[in-house]
Amino acid sequence: MHRIVVTGAGVVSCFGVGLDKFEKAIFSGKSGIGRISNFDASEYPCRIAAELPEYDSTPYLSPKDARRYDRYIVAAVTASKTAFEMSGVDMEKEDKSRVGIYISSGIGGLDTLLKEGRSLLNKGFRRVSPFFIPNAVVNMASGVVAMETDAQGPNFSIVSACASSTHSIGEAFRNLRSGYSDVILAGGSETSVNEFGVSGFCSMKAISFNFNDEPERGSRPFDARRDGFVIGEGAAALVLETLEHSQARGANILAEIVGYGASADAYHITAPAPEGRGAQQAIRAAIAEAGIEPSEIGYINAHGTSTPLNDKNETIAVKAVFGDYARELPISSTKSMHGHLLGAAGAIEAIASIMALNRQELPPTINYENPDPECDLDYVPNVARKHSFEYALSNSFGFGGQNAVLILKRWRE
Catalytic amino acids?
162, 303, 340
Report whether 229 contacts 306 (CB < 8 A): yes
Across 159-308, where does the E strand assignment appear? 183-190, 234-242, 255-264, 297-301
Q: Chain centroid to CA 393: how far?
A: 14
Distance CA 394, CA 355 (A): 12
Distance CA 260, CA 376 (A): 26
Between strands 4-13 and 255-264, the pairing is: antiparallel
Please state, in angstroms and as integers, the Cα–Cα distance from residue 389 to each residue in 23, 317, 329, 361, following that order: 19, 21, 11, 9
Distance CA 63, CA 85 (A): 20
Report whether 283 contacts 317 (CB < 8 A): yes
Report whether 184 contacts 172 (CB < 8 A): yes
Q: CB within 8 A of 122, min separation 6: which ones?
A: none
Distance CA 396, CA 413 (A): 29
Distance CA 82, CA 55 (A): 14
Distance CA 315, CA 307 (A): 12
Distance CA 316, CA 256 (A): 28
Burial 294-314 (b: 16+ CB within 10 A, else e): beebbbbbbbbbbbeebbbbb
Across 297-363, where does the E strand assignment appear? 297-301, 331-332, 361-362
- CA gyration radius for the chain? 20
Closest of 369, 355, 357, 363 to residue 385, by C-alpha: 363
**In sequence order, what are the beta bridge partners of 253?**
none
